[in-house]
Amino acid sequence: MSSKWILITTLCYLFINISKATPRNAILMLADDAGFEMRSYRNKICQAPNLDKLAKEGLIFNNAYTSVSSCSPSRSAILTGLPSHQNGMYGLHQGVHHFQSFDNVQSLPKLLKQNNIRTGIIGKKHVGPSEVFSFDYSQTEENNSILQVGRNITKIKLLVREFLAESRRTNQSFFLYVAFHDPHRCGHTNPEYGNFCEKFGNGDVGMGTIPDWSPIYYQWEQVQLPYFVQDTEAARRDIAAQYTTISRLDQGVGLVLKELEDVGLKDDTLVIYTSDNGIPFPNGRTNLYDPGMAEPMIISSPYHKDRRNQVTYSMTSLLDIAPTLLDWFNVSYQADPYNYDTHEIKLTGKSLLPLLVEEPVEKDGIVFASQTHHEITMYYPMRDLLNRTRSNMPLRWTKSLNTYYNRPEWELYDLKYDPEELNNIINKSSSQPIFKELSMKLFDWQKVTNDPWICAPTGVLEPIDGDKNNLRCMSTDF
């Protein structure tokens, strides 16, 4: 078996021919900060039977990665097919951060609407501007409580029912984006509901009731602790609370799919499940390490049955979702005609539909990711490490706060022999050929995707002799 490599720089088909007359629909279900908490990904403690059922009816992806490990940037990349440094969503959208995608960016909902495909979003949106991310049907935090449209699975069920009824009435193909807010943390906004909102709607006094949710509770001593999370009681209690909200997410997935089946549309609908970024623990969300980038992904197609309940090891990016959906609907990608740089914009992702037919022979599979901001004031927010360091308490972890925040410019890990990414081999002489190869591929991708940070941290991109079509990195060193 060949090694799987990860290079980090801290700059932060075969296809079944279906008649055009065959109706085509798609549902994308996106979890919020979820990981691999299900039996399909070998977690033997957390119960997620609906996701496991979906996995048996679809293809399980074992090498799926986000293109940016932060909420708004990741969602913008999913919905545009462009990495965040290219679409302009450099960090979190809301509040003081106020990052937005460029006004002239083309998006999946816009392209589909232009081709008479009805679009809908239910749950967490967290991207802007509204002109770029415009849906025909929209029930999000912009016009509802995020707790209701993102965590109240009974409310979500009824909104899905409403959307599907209207789509049937108009006899349109549809794309529905159901963006759950589970299992995102909520202690900072609604501490009364627990660290992960695990108490919201559980029927306890003052917590309200979600009729369709049967909460599942876990003993903190018995959770399956991810290798990158420090082994403390507090961390284990966090994981136990996260598991409980996974049960709400999972039951919500089951409700969505039942609504689809009840109206007779299951056999015409592509279903994709994934998450936006890694779980909110050290080395997870906001990091380009494996725990921050690796994502669960399941794709179930009514027209592709050969590889159901199988696993693909093909290197996959969330940037592949937009090309996959465009392929599914037989819609070509066209950059915004009002964008004067349209000739330079193309999708670097690929359709995943061929994987539903057969596993490719892949020798040089590669995915790229970039990280610019999460919060505008913190590149790698991690308050538990900060608090324990200030209190002179042991971290019970592999890194100190200093090494977590202050990283070398380049990091290279051989994940076959070092899956925990503890041994940076960038300076080993034997690593230089692979480092040279990967860094050149990274630089080429940065050029293709118009990365404004392509010359950082030691240079800036400037025209040569004033020629804006002839650029090079100019050093800032003296």
**65: part of which helix (H) or strand (E)?**
strand 59-65
Rg (CA), the chain: 22
Which pLDDT score is estimated for 15?
38
**105 touches 77 (CB < 8 A):** no
Distance CA 434, CA 478 (A): 30
Kindly report, residue by residue over 40-55, the tens digit of the pLDDT: 999 999 999 999 999 9
Which pLDDT score is estimated for 103?
94
Q: Which residues of the chain have pLDDT under 70?
A: 1-4, 9-22, 336-343, 378-383, 478
Among residues 181, 92, 174, which one has the least CA distance to residue 128? 92
**233 touches 223 (CB < 8 A):** no
Angle at 392 between CA 386 and CA 395, to 5 degrees: 60
Which pLDDT score is estimated for 339?
58
Active-site residue (options: 71, 186, 197, 455): 71
Distance CA 434, CA 447 (A): 20
Which pLDDT score is estimated for 17?
44
Which pLDDT score is estimated for 379?
62
Which pLDDT score is estimated for 350?
96
Which pLDDT score is estimated for 248?
98
71 among known catalytic residues:
yes
Which pLDDT score is estimated for 388?
85
Distance CA 328, CA 269 (A): 10
Among residues 338, 390, 59, 457, which one has the least CA distance to residue 473? 457
Q: Is 257 helix (H, G, I), strand (E, B) or coil?
A: helix
Which pLDDT score is estimated for 22?
65
Question: Would you list the DSSP string of 131-143?
Answer: TTS--SEEEETTT
**363 touches 313 (CB < 8 A):** no
What does each C-alpha distance from 399 to 45, 283, 337, 394, 455 come to in angstroms?
27, 10, 48, 11, 29
